[in-house]
Amino acid sequence: MGHDAVGYTAAKLLDSLMDEAMPTKQMITLPPKGLVAKQSTDALAVEDSLVAEAMRYNSERSHTGIDVAEAVVTGRVTECGLVALTKTRLGGS
């Protein structure tokens, strides 16, 4: 949302109130100026550290066409183990 637009709209409303105009009950809305998604916004919270690490790895490299075997980055879990953990933690079947 543009701060200039908010300030201008607020000043216009204040001016009309100072002229003793009756305040309106109509909500004043302004369109957003733009939206920037941050990396933290694009995350899925998972309590299991192995699943979270695999998901982070997958997200960072998804454009390369990786598979489950490549997502087993730490060697602390097998491919089958990661699939089972992911299904359990994320509610998959």
Same domain, 57 and 14: no
Same domain, 65 and 43: yes
Same domain, 20 and 50: no
Same domain, 28 and 63: no
Report residue 70: phi and psi, to 5°: -75, -25
Same domain, 43 and 82: yes
Same domain, 46 and 28: no
What are the angstrom distances between the C-alpha of 29 and each of 1, 10, 36, 47?
Answer: 10, 11, 20, 38
Q: Domain containing 78: what range? A: 39-90
Query: What's residue 64's pLDDT?
Result: 79
What is the Cα gyration radius of the chain? 25
**Looking at the 3D structure of the chain, how many domains does it have?**
2
Same domain, 47 and 83: yes
Query: What's residue 10's pLDDT?
Result: 92
Task: Give the residues of the chain that fall short of pLDDT 70.
Answer: 1, 37-45, 68, 71-75, 92-93
Give 70's Cβ-side CA count (13 Å radius): 11
Question: Nearest-CA neighbor of 72 among 61, 44, 63?
Answer: 61
Same domain, 10 and 44: no
Give the span between the Cα atoms of 81 and 27, in whole angstroms. Answer: 53
Same domain, 70 and 53: yes
Query: What's residue 7's pLDDT?
Result: 92
Query: What's residue 41's pLDDT?
Result: 58
What is 26-65 written as a DSSP string? Answer: SPP----S-----GGGG----S-HHHHHHHHHHHHHGGGT
Q: What is the pLDDT of residues 55-68, one digit of tens each?
A: 777 777 777 777 76
Query: What's residue 5's pLDDT?
Result: 87
